[in-house]
């Protein structure tokens, strides 16, 4: 029996040595307790620092360590997809390279999956200590909104740290969409998931790749990817405005019949034109967002491009 741990890495040179130490320890604990082997599959997401050379060294010395390297930065979603595609284990875990996801939880996850009751064991952050308050606030709003307008439930605090069986991995891989929003994808595929709570940890080294704006765009991507309610909202808004316009026409006709037609009212007209222009552009923006995503999907571009793998490197050495 084998466990694969997929680790997306983008500029993690500083954190990797400590991560490797921690995972070696965990792997030997897992072996001692469950008798299972652990393979570490790192996905270098086009890092610009020494991440790749750290990985090359590690893979050269230990057969349990493998890596894939992207030709450029494709994002964590793409890195997770690539890792899941190439993982060989019976159980596959995904975790971050910055030790924000406690490796000791892998043990707990294995024991949950081994009971056969669950197909997936996932970590859920129960505290947000160390996070800017504004970010926590918007993040909560996002989960609220998302769960209200989408059929796919997104659990608050759910993170990508999880372990799943082969069957779940196959299901996730069968969703080949280009705009990947894993929180939604994990939930969309279903299966019985056991949530394991954990406290937020600080990064051991390096810094987060997420800016506020980056998170905002990611949230929009999640909404567009898993809900079409904004389109219905646009249509409803159109109907409401039409109804308003109809009432106004009635009002003007009656007023003109009763009191004649003195010139005036152009400032209100100007405001109205501007308001309607704004509403139309806003709605077109929403439509455009869906159209843009459709455009990207129909191009059927690959989710990532590899530039090197540990298997290639080994072949070259033997050549």
Which positions touch ligand UDP (CB under 6 A)?
A: 8-10, 12, 45, 73, 75-76, 79, 96-98, 100, 208-210
Residue range at the interface with Mg ion (CB under 5 A); choices 30-38, 50-58, 91-99, 284-292: 91-99
The enclosing H or E element of 120 equals strand 120-125
> Residue for token digits 């003195």?
262
DSSP 269-309: HHHHHHHHHHHHHHHHHHHHHHHHHHHHHHTT--S--EEEE
Contact with Mg ion (CB under 5 A): which of 100, 150, 187, 309? Answer: 100
Task: Indicate the residue among 44 and 119 with the shorter CB distance to ligand UDP.
Answer: 44
3-class SS at 158?
Answer: strand
Task: Indicate the residue among 39 and 160 with the shorter CB distance to Mg ion.
Answer: 160
Task: Indicate the residue among 97 and 189 with the shorter CB distance to ligand UDP.
Answer: 97
In whole angstroms, give the CA distance from residue 236 to residue 12.
47
3-class SS at 81?
Answer: helix
Contact 30, 107 (CB under 8 A): yes
Across-strand partners of 198? 125
3-class SS at 225?
Answer: helix
For residue 25, how many other CB atoms are within 10 A of its CB? 12
Residue range at the interface with Mg ion (CB under 5 A); choices 45-53, 93-101, 137-145, 194-202: 93-101
Residue range at the interface with Mg ion (CB under 5 A); choices 15-23, 98-106, 107-115, 276-284: 98-106
- Is there binding between residue 51 and Mg ion (CB under 5 A)? no
Closest separation in Å from C-beta 97 to ligand UDP: 4
Task: Indicate the residue among 162 and 234 with the shorter CB distance to ligand UDP.
Answer: 162
Task: Indicate the residue among 138 and 191 with the shorter CB distance to ligand UDP.
Answer: 138
- Is there binding between residue 26 and Mg ion (CB under 5 A)? no
Contact with Mg ion (CB under 5 A): which of 13, 98, 119, 160? Answer: 98
């Amino acid at each position: 029996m084998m466990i694969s741990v997929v680790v997306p890495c983008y500029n993690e040179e500083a954190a990797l040595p400590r991560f490797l130490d921690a995972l070696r320890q965990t792997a030997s604990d897992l072996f001692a307790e469950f008798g299972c082997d652990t393979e570490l599959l790192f996905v270098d997401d086009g890092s610009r620092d020494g991440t790749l050379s750290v990985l090359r060294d590690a893979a050269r010395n230990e057969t349990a360590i493998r890596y894939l390297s992207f030709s450029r930065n494709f994002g964590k979603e793409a890195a997770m997809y690539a890792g899941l595609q190439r993982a060989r284990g019976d159980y596959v875990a995904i975790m971050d390279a910055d030790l924000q996801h406690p490796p000791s939880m892998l043990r707990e996850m294995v024991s949950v999956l081994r009971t056969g009751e669950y197909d997936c064991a996932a970590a859920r952050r129960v505290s947000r200590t160390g996070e800017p308050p504004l970010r926590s606030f918007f993040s909560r709003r996002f989960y609220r909104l998302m769960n209200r307008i989408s059929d796919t439930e997104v659990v608050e605090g759910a993170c990508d740290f999880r372990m799943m069986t082969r069957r779940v991995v196959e299901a996730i891989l069968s969703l080949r969409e280009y705009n990947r929003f894993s929180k939604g994808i994990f939930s969309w595929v279903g299966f019985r998931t056991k949530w394991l709570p954990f406290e937020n940890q600080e990064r051991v080294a390096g810094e987060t790749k997420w800016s506020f704006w980056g998170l905002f765009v990611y949230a929009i991507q999640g909404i567009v990817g898993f809900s079409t309610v904004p389109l219905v909202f646009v249509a409803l808004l159109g109907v409401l405005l039409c109804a308003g316009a109809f009432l106004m026409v009635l009002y003007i006709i009656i007023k003109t019949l009763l009191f004649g037609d003195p010139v005036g009212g152009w400032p209100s007209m100007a405001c109205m034109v501007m308001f309607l222009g704004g509403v139309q552009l806003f709605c077109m923006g929403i439509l455009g967002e869906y159209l843009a995503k459709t455009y990207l999907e129909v191009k059927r571009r690959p989710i990532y491009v590899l530039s090197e793998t540990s298997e290639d490197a080994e072949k070259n050495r033997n050549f």
